[in-house]
């Protein structure tokens, strides 16, 4: 598994891996933001994440996801309770960006990650190249950026 190789190369360092949800650990339905709790889980990827959680105590998985409405936070938490309950509620960062907001999701995520104060190695796994690109341009915490395909093999 490529993700495991990357983690092994970092040795005993504490690693925080921020996971996007839509398109990364759940099937992305174009234009469908509602009923998140009913979204199809990507089990192959979820199993890899559980394997890392069980075998690498130096790694903490966290969620970094965005919804348009407050109810999306509730729906995403319900989904996580069902499919990835190993990720604790304090590690679930489900941010609300209202649909008509001027700030893009990429900037919301970039600002969140740039404001983290930690000595841990930070990794982000996201399917959206706009998010990865925005952080790459302004990467204050030297975050290791990976496309969702790192979870595929």
Would you tell me which residues interact with Mg ion (CB under 5 A)? 20, 22-23, 127-128
| Of 79, 126, 131, nearest in space to 104 by CA | 131
Query: Minimum Å distance from CB 100 to Mg ion?
Result: 20
Q: For residue 66, what are the contacts with CB-CB under 8 A and spacing of at least 6?
A: 94, 95, 96, 97, 105, 108, 109
Which position's Cβ is nearest Mg ion? 23
Nearer to Mg ion by Cβ, of 7 and 66: the residue is 66
Query: Minimum Å distance from CB 120 to Mg ion?
Result: 23
Query: Minimum Å distance from CB 23 to Mg ion?
Result: 4
Query: Minimum Å distance from CB 126 to Mg ion?
Result: 6
Taking a C-beta distance cutoff of 8 angstroms, is the pair 21, 63 a contact?
A: yes
Nearer to Mg ion by Cβ, of 10 and 37: the residue is 37
Query: Minimum Å distance from CB 58 to Mg ion?
Result: 26
Exposure string over 96-127, b if 16+ CB within 10 A, otherwise e: ebeeeeeeebbbbbbeebeeeeeeebbbbbbb
According to DSSP, residue 22 is labeled B
List beta partners, residue 147. Answer: 126
Nearer to Mg ion by Cβ, of 15 and 25: the residue is 25
List beta partners, residue 18. Answer: 62, 124
Nearer to Mg ion by Cβ, of 128 and 132: the residue is 128
Nearer to Mg ion by Cβ, of 36 and 56: the residue is 36
């Amino acid at each position: 598994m490529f993700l495991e190789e990357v983690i092994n190369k970092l040795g005993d360092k504490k690693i925080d891996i921020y996971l996007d949800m839509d398109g990364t650990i759940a099937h992305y339905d174009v234009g469908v933001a509602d009923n998140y709790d009913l979204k199809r889980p990507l089990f192959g990827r979820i199993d890899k994440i559980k394997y890392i959680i069980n075998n690498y105590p130096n790694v903490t998985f966290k969620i970094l996801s965005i919804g348009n409405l407050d109810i999306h936070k509730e729906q995403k938490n319900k989904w996580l309770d069902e499919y990835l309950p190993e990720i604790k509620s304090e590690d679930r960062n489900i941010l609300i960006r209202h649909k008509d907001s001027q700030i893009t999701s990429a900037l919301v995520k970039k600002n969140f990650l740039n404001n983290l104060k930690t000595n841990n190695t930070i990794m982000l796994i996201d399917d959206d190249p706009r998010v990865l690109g925005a952080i790459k341009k302004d990467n204050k915490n030297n975050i290791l950026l990976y496309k969702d395909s790192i979870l595929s093999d």
